[in-house]
Amino acid sequence: MALLNILRYPDPRLHKVAKPVTEFGPRIDKLVADMADTMYDAPGVGLAATQIDVHERLVVIDITETKDDLMVFVNPEIVWASEEKQVYDEGCLSVPGVYDGVERPARVKVRALDQKGQPFEVEADGLLAVCIQHEMDHLMGKVFVEYLSPLKRNRIKTKLMKEGRGMQRDDARNAGRRA
């Protein structure tokens, strides 16, 4: 399978709203497999298609230590959320090295399709509930840093933009050495 490029905040493509998946088959199977490989390699516990510049409502999640329980959510929707909230330190593959507390519902019930198009529902709490909500935010064009204060968000944006410029210079320098 292929490792895919993960968009980095503040890339504007992270703010595109994903469209529903309407066709299932080999293309979705390959996309799910490639997204899973990319997530595991990163390493992360969740990845939304938006993060790899595919703007379809598709999420992969695996919160296990053993990385052997891949969950696939196609066209997910939260059908119930608890009034009880929890603050969880979140990180994101699109915002590398940044972790901060985000308050979300402690429990959710989600309705989705699996990668073959079969409907299912899951009730989640703890890390799984956080991960589902975080990845579904990506499908709506929202990155977790948008829950933070404008000051924190601007510091993160500046830091990542500086790192991105440094990486581009390193890539150009290394490309010159390979030529």
- Among candidate residues 56, 90, 135, 163, the one labeled active-site is 135
Catalytic site includes residue 77: no
Q: What is the pLDDT of residue 163?
A: 85
Q: What is the pLDDT of residue 166?
A: 61
pLDDT means over runs of 10, the chain (179 residues): 92 97 97 98 97 98 96 98 97 95 98 98 98 98 96 92 68 44
Sequence ranges of the binding site: 92, 134, 138
Instruction: Compute the distance between CA of residue 104 and CA of residue 45 in angstroms, rounded to an integer.
Output: 17
Cβ atoms within 10 A of the Cβ of 140, count?
13
Question: What's the CATH superfamily of 12-148?
Answer: Peptide deformylase (3.90.45.10)
Q: What is the pLDDT of residue 168?
A: 54
Instruction: Compute the distance between CA of residue 140 and CA of residue 75 in angstroms, rounded to an integer.
Output: 11
Instruction: Compute the distance between CA of residue 113 and CA of residue 143 in angstroms, rounded to an integer.
Output: 23
Q: What is the pLDDT of residue 167?
A: 59
Sequence ranges of the binding site for Fe cation: 92, 134, 138
